[in-house]
Structure 1
């Protein structure tokens, strides 16, 4: 498993997304993923599953130094005191002494970004979190965080897959040497039925989803966190790493329509 190095941390390029996983099913999914070799687990306070994830992490006995755990603060909790309370609650639920990566989950139009990032940087200085970052940030918001405030942003976690063009944000991140962590990397299952991806998959004895995932992971500075609750799906995502896409495959994927955004809540920013 390749890792991305950013702001002093090493993050496996393939992780496990846990959105909409709950309770015992979530714990079982994380336990199976860790047993298969996953070491990057992604959660958030909004997912309401940090407690079962914490139980799974504790039960797995994987050395803490081998694990990368990301969690996120919700956009309604971006006042400094609210961030600290949310962070303390996440740390307790995850049964950890330190979070590897703590993200602003969504931008808020009412946020005082100077105060937000000062609070996050103090958590980092106190060694309660190893790195801080953002999710769902546009290029304008990235400029505010990185250039205006000087925050040590370790990643921007955004929706990215073969059906959505994110070249503007990608170029901005690359210029700042900031990795992109792709959520919804399989377009919420839509890639599975795509005839072009299916055809490429047949050539490589793979599924369309594996082709879509490998396309992402082949890109420099990109990690992906597909949600997979069943051990077979988790293993299939690991097996995607074995595929070798050629230039012809990449040209066919480049020609796919790239206008399918799956996640666009009412509080989302004005996308670039």
Structure 2
């Protein structure tokens, strides 16, 4: 198993049709993806597991990530639900397990102790965090016996997360960008469209290339059709120059697409 997250993975949020989900995961892996992201809260772990099993790839070459929901973050519940996720995914070990949101039943010492014990017991390989503020990340770093492997958060040209990206660089973990295409609205961002036209690429490819060109950042676009799955993966071959990156870096508008009243930043 690689020590690095592949720069582009397949996201499965809201991929709720079991057949479509299974087929999209299988297609992605057969095309070359090696990072699959899901969560117990997505209610598609069974289909994701079926897609992984059906793909013509070596299981050890694929990094599979899932998340424990905020209602299940007490010590006992986290252990129980992580094991249930592993069973639904049909895995011997979950490569990366995230705290999905640091809310509701989350308590740093109890929750993270459960995650460390799951790792030590061989249920999971690595510990991740998701949707944390910087102060919550700092608290987790104090509690954990080692640096978390990844922090997953919404990140795209309209939510550039400078502070969180800097924290990832400083502490040596990976920032995983979800909703990297801004729910499809990257195609309406003039700066991104201009760069895309320059390179004869799609705005989605430009957004992914811009993100993965950042230090310690990878992206997990959600895709269901083979065409989009292939298009997103081809962003690995797109090289933006300094002018392109500066144009997108300079976007001063901000929009968050994933939010609710319990989010840590509210």
**TM-score range relative to shorter protein:** over 0.9
Contact 1:13 1:217 (8 Å CA) reproduced? yes
2:7 aligns with 13
Matches within 5 A, 1:156-171: 156-171=151-166
2:189 aligns with 194
In structure 1, distance between residues paired with 2:155 and 2:224: 20
Matches within 5 A, 1:74-113: 74-108=69-103, 110-113=105-108
| Stretches of structure 2 lacking an aligned partner (at least 5 in a row) | none
Please report how far the alpha carbon of residue 147 of structure 1 lies from its aligned counterpart in structure 2 after TM superposition: 2.4
**4+ residue segments displaced more than 4 Å:** none
Please report how far the alpha carbon of residue 152 of structure 1 lies from its aligned counterpart in structure 2 after TM superposition: 3.4
1:62 aligns with 57
Matches within 5 A, 1:240-259: 240-259=235-254
Across the aligned residues of Structure 1 and Structure 2, the Cα RMSD in angstroms comes to: 1.5
- Helix, strand or coil: the match of 2:215? coil
Contact 1:75 1:106 (8 Å CA) reproduced? yes
Aligned counterpart in structure 2 of residue 237 of structure 1, from 226, 232, 237: 232
1:48 aligns with 43
Please report how far the alpha carbon of residue 223 of structure 1 lies from its aligned counterpart in structure 2 after TM superposition: 0.8
Please report how far the alpha carbon of residue 144 of structure 1 lies from its aligned counterpart in structure 2 after TM superposition: 0.4
In structure 2, distance between residues paired with 1:235 and 1:149: 38
1:36 aligns with 31
Which piece of structure 1 moves more, 28-37 or 250-259? 250-259
Which piece of structure 1 moves more, 146-155 or 59-68? 146-155
- Helix, strand or coil: the match of 2:5? strand
Q: Deviations over 1:124-180 (max 9, x none)?
A: 111211101100011000110002444531111000111113111111221111110
2:133 aligns with 138
TM-score by length of 2: 0.95
Q: Deviations over 1:210-236 (max 9, x none)?
A: 111100011111010000100100111
2:115 aligns with 120
Please report how far the alpha carbon of residue 112 of structure 1 lies from its aligned counterpart in structure 2 after TM superposition: 2.2
In structure 2, distance between residues paired with 1:113 and 1:74: 14
Q: How many residues align?
A: 265
In structure 2, distance between residues paired with 1:24 and 1:234: 16
In structure 1, distance between residues paired with 2:127 and 2:264: 20
Contact 2:71 2:105 (8 Å CA) reproduced? no
Structure 1 117/179 Cα, relative in aligned 2: closer, same or farther at 3 Å? Answer: same
| Stretches of structure 1 lacking an aligned partner (at least 5 in a row) | none
Contact 1:75 1:104 (8 Å CA) reproduced? yes
Contact 1:73 1:103 (8 Å CA) reproduced? yes
Aligned counterpart in structure 1 of residue 20 of structure 2, from 8, 16, 25: 25
Structure 1 239/149 Cα, relative in aligned 2: closer, same or farther at 3 Å? Answer: closer
The answer on 1:205 being equivalent to 2:200 is yes
- Helix, strand or coil: the match of 1:70? strand
Contact 1:133 1:152 (8 Å CA) reproduced? no
